[in-house]
Structure 1
Amino acid sequence: MTRSFTFLVNPASGDGAAPQAVLPVARLLRGAGARVDVASSSGPQAVAALVARAVERGDVVVAVGGDGTLSHLVGAVCSGGGVVGVLPAGRGNDFARMLGLPTEPEEVAELLLHGAERCVDLLSWQAPGAPERLVAGSVYSGVDARAAALVDRMRWTPKPLQYPLGAVRALATYQPGRFRVVVDGVVAEYAAATVVVANSGYYGQGMHIAPSARVDDGLLDVVVVEAASRLELIRRFPRIYGGSHVELPEVTVLTGRRVEIAADARASVPVGADGEALGSLPGLGGPAAVVELRPGALRVVG
Structure 2
Amino acid sequence: MSGDITLLINPAAGEGGGARAALRAGRVLRDAGFLVRGLVGADADDAVDRARAAVAQGTGALVAVGGDGMVSLALRAIAGTATPLGIVPAGTGNDMARACGLPLGDPGAAARVIAAACKAGTHRQLDLGRVGDAWFGGVLASGFDSRVNDRGNRMRRPRGRLRYDIAMVAELGRLRGIPYRMRLDGGPWREFDATLVAVGNGPSYGGGMRMCAGARLDDGLFDITVVGEVDRRTLLRVFPRVYRGTHLGHPAVSVHRAAEVVLDAPGVTGYADGEPLGPLPLTARCVPGALRLLAPETRQPSGARPAG
Structures share fold, TM-score greater than 0.5: yes
SS at match of 2:208: coil
In the alignment, what sits opposite 1:8?
A: 8
After alignment, is 180-189 or 168-177 more displaced? Answer: 168-177
The alpha-carbon deviation at position 171 of structure 1 amounts to 3.0
- Counterpart amino acid of residue 289 in structure 2: G
Maintained 8 Å contact 1:3/1:113: no
Distance in structure 1 (CA, Å) of the matches to 2:75 and 2:276: 17
Is the deviation greater in 4-13 or in 148-157?
A: 148-157
Q: Cα distance 1:298–1:290, how it changes in 2: closer, same or farther (>3 A)?
A: same
Q: CA, structure 1 residues 165+44, in 2 after alignment: closer, same or farther (shift >3 Å)?
A: closer
Give the number of aligned pairs: 287
Per the alignment, residue 136 of structure 1 pairs with: 137
Contact 1:98/1:202 (8 A) holds in 2? yes
Question: Corresponding residue for 1:276?
Answer: 275
1:228 & 1:254 partners in 2: Cα distance? 19
CA distance 1:181–1:94, shift in 2 (3 Å): same
Distance 1:137 1:290 in 2: 16
Map residues 254-293 of structure 1 onto 2, 5 A cutoff: 254-264=256-266, 268-282=267-281, 289-293=282-286
- Which has the higher mean CA deviation after the structures are superposed, 233-242 or 161-170? 161-170
Q: Could you tell me which residue of structure 1 aligns to residue 107 of structure 2?
A: 105
Say which SS state the counterpart of residue 255 (structure 2) adopts.
Answer: strand
SS of the residue corresponding to residue 238 of structure 1 reads: helix
Unmatched segments (≥5 aa) in structure 1: 127-131, 283-288
Structure 1 equivalent of residue 287 of structure 2 = 294
Aligned to 2:36: 36
Which residues of 2 match residues 75-90 of structure 1 at below 5 A? 75-90=76-91
Using the aligned pairs only, state the percent identity: 36
Bigger mean CA deviation after superposition, 166-175 or 249-258: 166-175
Q: Give a deviation string over 1:225-282, Cα, whole Å, max 9, x none.
A: 1111112111211011111111111111000101011013xxx112211111223213
Would the alpha carbon gap of residues 242 and 172 (structure 1) be closer, same or farther in structure 2, given more than 3 Å must change? farther
TM-score between both structures, scaled by the size of structure 1:
0.88
After TM superposition, list the pairs within 5 Å mapping 1:194-273 onto structure 2.
Answer: 194-264=196-266, 268-273=267-272
1:133/1:145 Cα in 2 relative to 1: closer, same or farther (>3 Å)? Answer: same
Measured after TM superposition, the shift of residue 173 of structure 1 is 2.8
Correspondence for 1:286 = none
**C-alpha displacement of 1:157:** 5.8
Partner of 2:127: 121
Amino acid of the residue matched to residue 301 of structure 1?
L
Contact 2:80 2:290 in 1 (8 A): no
Pair 23,38 (structure 1): closer, same or farther in 2 beyond 3 Å: same
The superposition leaves residues 75-104 of structure 1 with CA deviations (integer Å, 9 ceiling, x where unpaired) of 321254311100111121001000010131
The structure-2 alpha-carbon separation of the partners of 1:247 and 1:162, relative to structure 1 and needing over 3 Å to count, comes to farther
Aligned pairs (5 A) from 1:157-172: 159=161, 166-172=167-173
Q: What is the CA distance between 1:44 and its match in structure 2?
A: 4.5
Unaligned runs of 5+ in 2: 296-308
Task: Name the SS of the counterpart of 1:294 in structure 2.
Answer: strand
